[in-house]
Structures are given as structure tokens and as C-alpha cells.
Amino acid sequence: MTARIFIGERETAGIDPANRGLAYGDGVFETMRVHGGGVPLWPRHLARLQEGALRLGIPVPDVAFIEASVAGMLAGCNAGVLKLLVTRGDGARGYAPEPKALPAWTLALHPLPASLHGGLRLHWCETRLAVQPALAGIKHCNRLEQVLARTECVRQGCDEGLMRDTSGNVVCATGANLLVLHQGTWTTPPVADCGVAGVMRQWLLDEGMIHLSQMSSAQVEAADALALCNAVRGILPVANLGARTWQPHPAVARLRASLVEAYSMFSLPMGVDSTEVS
Amino acid sequence: MTARIFIGERETAGIDPANRGLAYGDGVFETMRVHGGGVPLWPRHLARLQEGALRLGIPVPDVAFIEASVAGMLAGCNAGVLKLLVTRGDGARGYAPEPKALPAWTLALHPLPASLHGGLRLHWCETRLAVQPALAGIKHCNRLEQVLARTECVRQGCDEGLMRDTSGNVVCATGANLLVLHQGTWTTPPVADCGVAGVMRQWLLDEGMIHLSQMSSAQVEAADALALCNAVRGILPVANLGARTWQPHPAVARLRASLVEAYSMFSLPMGVDSTEVS
């Protein structure tokens, strides 16, 4: 991993122990697929970062400065994963934000995760997502629910896990959004109460390839096919969920082909690792 | 502020950008009143830290090593506030914990907050606490709800704010627990669904001075007296909550006198600042 740390537009050597991201998860982040020295989905990642920061009242560093720093970091990098983390900066003790603090932020470049052959093995997570509209949809740094849920997946020997909210509605995977096929129509759960509005999910919605629909566990298990999507892996078929199994479905292949046509970087077959991307 | 940073039992210069506390709020913390070079409530703080770390699966550094480090930091310090933050340590990208990672942790010593004269002015926070039993009670580092709620208090010119859960039950203040007097009996809301089990609240429960009771906003407003409590400030009277006002009540004075008898450090009159302590 290569990493750079900034406070406002000044590069610095380390994260201060008074950083509010460290103290309270007081920040937002994006995890992005790098291709040919750039980030093809950057406008969508930037828009979500800005929306999250706006909702939390976190100042965003100068966008031109971020973009120049990203370009410098990605020079010569053909493929990888870039993580951008923006925290509210350093603070005194206490929850009240320091009005004058500059955002502290990091860029980290990682290798592409390893490929996975065949469909994903999914686990029904016991850990539920709390209903919190004030934080839903954005990619903030309060992620203990995902950490606990992903730990379950590892313990079960699964690739990923599906999470339900505390009312029982299915919401998403720990690091990806869920796509459910019923009678030729793809749907994905809403994320107005909890969950992350993934960049890849939003692209699929904007293209009219998927539609919003609230769903129960039983409806997911009754699907003709399942897939997960995120901005690093693209679209991945699901092979099983607990005891329920699915054979490869041509509708998944068609969805992937449409994505590859728009973003050729997703032509490589890739699986899911222990990523937090959506 | 004086701060020290450790990874396991090795002191280090800064927080790594790959730290999971920074990435996900993947940690627990304690904020403690220092008195006479020590932390009189240390056994209670340590117990809560250990319980939180156990529930999250975060390794706790060697306790004797923590205690020796605290002792070194507090030598000659008569009064102050000590913050101990334990994160799951550094990780790769992704929610799955790195099984071999050593905990990264910090100690920071702050001056005592300024005193406040008269009773507290409280705000009813619009920001709700999500119902999440998996994270309730412990002092973890996913604190965006408290950050948003405290921001409301500052905007309203109030000292603190009361938070309700998404079902409407009153739970706690942003950085303190709530004590409610009705007909001579003190109660405090349960924290099984959300909120923090404050060290001072627990001492009052253990002493039999307060009792658990779920309560609505209307019941709080109908109280004979309100007070807030936390481990740095002790017990503080409330003067108003929105338009509702209370005169000083002898039952608050009696509760404070009992606390001072057990812990003389709370004999100093102190108000609430923008603290996260409970």
C-alpha cells in the first residue's frame, strides 16, 4: 500500500491522535477502481463523497487539489484500488466539531484484489443494520455493523453476507449491493433507512437496468438469480446463500456485458475479497 | 494536550493511515477524571473497556502495561481528564479484521473542563439514536449520531441535549446519562437498545440511588427535577429543557453530596462543556 496524508492542502507525515475520524469515525470515504492511471467512475464517487460530507457538515478539501493529488499518485498505475478518506480533521476532546478545523484526509493505493472463480457463497448475517435515516445511503466511517457482519462471513467460510435491517428487510451485503432477479426483472433494496447507496448500484439504476424494491429474506431466497455489485468488482454472480443454490443465469451474463460495454475495466473476471467497497 | 501512541507494547510516533479506528471507528474508548495523579474510577472504566472490546472482538493491550503507562503520564498531575482509546490496530483494505493485528491505542491528557455556574440548559435533539442492541451500552467509536446531536446543541446555544431513540424513548444526553426525579425517586433510562452505560450512572445504580425506567419525552418534562451525570463532571443539575424550567431541587443536592462523600474529586462545582464523557 502507498499512502499520502493531508491536512487541507498541506501534506503531513501521520494521523494526529486528536483526529476525529479516529475518535468517532467522523468522516466519509470512497474506494475506487483504478484503470489506466485514472478512476473511470470518479465523478460518481466525488458526488457521493460531497453529499455525505454535506450531510455530516464535514468540509471537503479543494476538489482540484484532490484531483491533482490523485493524478500524481496514479501515474503509471494501470490497475488498482484507490481509497480516499476525508475526516473532519483534528479536534479537542468532545463531540462538538471545531469550526475552524481543516479536513484531514488520506489517499491509499492498493493492488487489485484476487479473482474468484465461480459464483459467490453468501451467508445470512446475524448482525442487523440499525434504522438510521440520518446516516443512510452515504459512505460514512461508522462501520462497526459491517465489521461484525464480515467477521461472521469469515467464520462461516463464506465470500460475503447479506444484511437485514432491524425490521427484517433485506438491505445489502457487507461491502456490496444486492441485485435480485424475479421473472426477468432485476431489483435492489432501497437504502433510505440504512445501507450504502453504491456507485455501481446507482449506475445500474440510472441506466434503467434495475429497479428499487423492498424485499424479505423469503423473496430473496425465491429469486431466479442473485448478484452483488460494487465499484471495484463490478457485478458478481451468486452461487449459494446458505442451503439455497443457483446455477449460472444468462440474465447475469447480460447485465455484466452491459457494464463491460460502458466500463471495459470490468471485463476481467474478479471475485470478492474482504473489501468494504460499494 | 499530551498524547502517547502505542501498538501493542511498543510506543510509536503517529497513527498509521491504515488504522481501523480511523477507517471504520473500529475501537472503544474511555474518558476519565484524573485526581491526585490517579484515576479513582479506573476499575469501572477498565471493566467497561474490556466488555466493549470483548463484544467487538478487539484485543485489549496488556492491562499492567496500560496501567504503568497511565501512571507515568499522570505523575504530578493533580487534576485533568485522561482519554484512553483502543483500536483494532492496522489492517488491509476491507472490513474483515486482520487476525494477527496488535491493538493500536492512545493515551491523551487534557485539562479539566471549565466550570459552569447555575443549572444546565438542555435542547431536545432532532437526531435520534438508532436501535442497535449489538452496539448498545458499550463506549465504541461509532459516534456520528452524537456528533450530529451535539452540533444541534451548539447551534441552539445549549449546554447539552437529550436524545431519543427512533421509537421515541428518551435515552441519554449526547455525552452524559439522564437522571429523572418523580415523587422522590430517581430513574434513568435503560441502554439495552442504544446509548452508553455511563460509569457514573452505573455507580448510582449499584449504590441503589437510582433505578431503571423507560420514559417518554412527556414524562421527562413532567419531572420534579432533572440532572445529568458522567465520569468527568459527576452530577449536574438541569435548569431548563426547551421552554420547561426547574428551580434548584434539594434532591439533586443530596445526590451530589453522596457522590462527593464517595469521591471527593467531585466536590468542585463543574459544568458541562462539549465533552463526550459518560
Classified as helix, coil or strand, B39 is: coil
CA distance B122 to B194: 20
Residue B202: predicted pLDDT: 98
Residue A275: predicted pLDDT: 46
Contact yes or no for A25 and B29 at CB 8 A:
no
- B104-110/B2-7 β-pairing: antiparallel
Residue B93: pLDDT band by 50, 70, 90 thresholds?
confident
Of the candidates A107, A116, A129, A97, the one whose C-alpha atom is nearest the C-alpha of residue A45 is A107
Shortest CB distance from B144 goes to which of A22, A140, A146?
Answer: A140
Residue B1: pLDDT band by 50, 70, 90 thresholds?
confident
Express each pLDDT in A189-234 by its tens digit: 999 999 999 999 999 999 999 999 999 999 999 999 999 999 999 9
Give me the helices (H) in chain B, please: 20-24, 42-56, 63-74, 144-155, 199-206, 217-221, 250-262
User: By mean pLDDT, which of A199-203, B92-96, B100-104 is the weakest?
Assistant: B92-96
Contact in structure between B275 and B230 (CB atoms under 8 Å): yes
Inform me whether the C-beta atom of residue B114 falls under 8 Å from chain A C-beta atoms.
Answer: no
- Top residue of B2, B144, B233 to mutate, by most chain A CBs within 10 Å, is B144
Q: Grid coordinates representing A51?
A: 453529499
Answer yes or no: is pLDDT of B110 > 50: yes
Contact yes or no for A24 and B174 at CB 8 A:
no
Our CA-based measurement puts residue B173 at a distance from the nearest CA of chain A, in whole angstroms, of: 12
CA distance A67 to B176: 41
Express each pLDDT in B7-49 by its tens digit: 999 999 989 999 999 999 999 999 999 999 999 999 999 999 9
The three-state (H, E, C) secondary structure of chain A, written as one string: CEEEEEECCEEECCECCCEHHHHHCCEEEEEEEEECCECCCHHHHHHHHHHHHHHHCCCCCCHHHHHHHHHHHHCCCCEEEEEEEEECCECCCCCCCCCCCCCEEEEEEECCCCCCCCCEEEEECCCCECCCCCCCECCECCCHHHHHHHHHHHHHCCCEEEEEECCCCEEEECCCEEEEEECCEEEECCCCCCCECCHHHHHHHHCCCCEECCCCHHHHHCCCEEEEEECCCEEEEEEEECCEECCCCHHHHHHHHHHHHHCHHHHCCCCCCCCCCC
Our CA-based measurement puts residue A15 at a distance from the nearest CA of chain B, in whole angstroms, of: 5
For chain A, which domains are there? Answer: 2-110 (3.30.470.10), 120-267 (3.20.10.10)
Residues of A in contact with B83 (CB under 8 A): 93
Average pLDDT over residues A122-148: 98
CA distance A114 to A173: 19
Shortest CB distance from B144 goes to which of A1, A142, A154?
Answer: A142
Shortest CB distance from A174 goes to which of B56, B95, B142?
Answer: B95
